[in-house]
Amino acid sequence: MADAAEPTDDHTDPLLEHLISLTREGTVVASFQAAHEKFHRFHADCLRLAAASSSDHDARDELLQMLDAYTTLFNEHHHAEDQYFFPALRQAEPTLGTVVDQLVAQHAHLGVRLTALVEQARRSRSGESAADDVDRLVAALTDVQVAVDEHLSFEETETIPVLSTWTDWPI
């Protein structure tokens, strides 16, 4: 996870420019929620593929590819939040400092859990003898899904009321 750094004032970062544009267009909340919805779809797809992976080697390969894509989305999304969204929240609504601290800590914790999950999926076997591996993998995926869903719900409940009032990026 990248260290949270202050964004530059010259707006040369394409990600910051994108966030500024979404905010001015009034679509930043919808974009935020769409990214969260992608996580929900990944969870459903990963669980389906994990359940099929004991008897279908292609499902296991597809699951590993799906987890790689999930990890990429996870890292990009949390980088954007940690680098830009959370500092903007702190500036725009200082009373949310404790909430932002909790969200940052959750990002770190979820990152560790996701790394362990991906490693577990890579070690899992296919074939009839893999039923226990598949059961453990489905349980781990379900646990991560619950933790991510709780995080997303908390994040949306606490931040969208502030985010929805922005007509320009606060920093």
User: Residue 41 domain-assigned?
Assistant: yes
User: Residue 73 domain-assigned?
Assistant: yes
128 within 8 A of 54, measured Cβ to Cβ: yes
Length of the chain counted residue by residue: 171
* 64-94 b/e (C-beta count within 10 Å ≥ 16 → b): bebbeebbeebeebbebbbbbbbbbbbeebe
Residue 31 scores a pLDDT above 60: yes
pLDDT, tens digit (0-9, with 9 covering 90-100), for 5-17: 444 455 578 999 9
User: Residue 61 domain-assigned?
Assistant: yes
User: Residue 168 domain-assigned?
Assistant: no
104 within 8 A of 4, measured Cβ to Cβ: yes
For residues 2 and 135, the model is more confident at 135
Angle ∠(29,24,92) on CA atoms, nearest 5? 70
| 36-50: average pLDDT | 94
**What is the number of other CB atoms lying within 10 angstroms of the CB of residue 50?**
26
User: Residue 5 domain-assigned?
Assistant: no
User: Residue 6 domain-assigned?
Assistant: no
> Which pLDDT value is given to residue 2?
39
CATH code of the domain covering residue 122: 1.20.120.520
User: Residue 7 domain-assigned?
Assistant: no
Report the number of distinct structural domains present in the chain.
Answer: 1
Mean pLDDT of the chain: 89
Full residue range of the structural domain in which residue 65 is found: 14-163
Question: Could you tell me what percent of the chain has a pLDDT over 90?
Answer: 74
Residue 94 scores a pLDDT above 90: yes
